[in-house]
């Protein structure tokens, strides 16, 4: 009996790893632009689906535009996502042939989208000498008082 492995990485980690793997294929150098754009675009669509619950793999860019209106991310990032998807669609569904710079820009934009929308770690309170916040050894921090001489 075979047990499927569970991928416990967060969506942004999976996306970042997938983009590294795609880059390692060197598809643009082989002039395999359609395949490259399809893989990079698919990675970002999968990320959007996993991160925000938007079925991006099954939707058109126009439908995703409507979904993005309901997501709490910066407007400039939403614009970048839409431009990225439109550019990808142009290559995937037409005879337009991009150049190496366009392919590099696509990858940079994909990385920007993932980084700009990944969950931010919670900021923990910091221990300061005048206001300790953590317990030590299960006890409250010692309070020191100055003794007048």
Cα 122 to Cα 100: distance, rounded to the nearest angstrom: 38
Q: Where are the domains of the chain?
A: 11-117
Query: Which stretches of 1-147 are DSSP H helices?
Result: 11-24, 33-52, 61-68, 75-92, 100-117
Q: Percent of the chain having pLDDT more than 70?
A: 81
Cα 86 to Cα 91: distance, rounded to the nearest angstrom: 9
Cα 87 to Cα 69: distance, rounded to the nearest angstrom: 20
pLDDT digits (tens, 9 = 90+) for 66-77: 999 999 999 999
pLDDT digits (tens, 9 = 90+) for 83-137: 999 999 999 988 989 999 999 999 999 999 999 999 887 666 555 555 555 444 4
pLDDT, position 86:
95
Whether the model pTM is above 0.95 = no
Is residue 1 scored above 80 in pLDDT?
no
User: What residue has token string 């492995």?
Assistant: 5
- Three-state secondary structure call for residue 121: coil
């Amino acid at each position: 009996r075979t047990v499927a492995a569970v991928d416990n990485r967060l969506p942004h980690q999976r996306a970042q790893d997938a983009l590294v793997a795609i880059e390692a294929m060197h598809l643009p150098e082989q002039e395999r632009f359609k395949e490259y754009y399809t893989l990079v675009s698919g990675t970002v669509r999968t990320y959007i689906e996993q991160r925000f619950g938007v079925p991006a793999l099954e939707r058109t860019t126009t439908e995703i535009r409507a979904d993005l209106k309901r997501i709490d991310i910066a407007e400039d990032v939403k614009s970048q996502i839409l431009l990225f998807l439109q550019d990808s669609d142009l290559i995937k569904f037409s005879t337009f042939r991009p150049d190496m710079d366009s392919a590099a820009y696509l990858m940079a934009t994909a990385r920007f989208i993932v980084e700009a929308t990944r969950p931010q770690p919670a900021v923990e309170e910091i221990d300061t000498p005048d206001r300790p916040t953590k317990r030590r050894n299960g006890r409250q921090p010692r309070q020191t008082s100055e003794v007048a001489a």
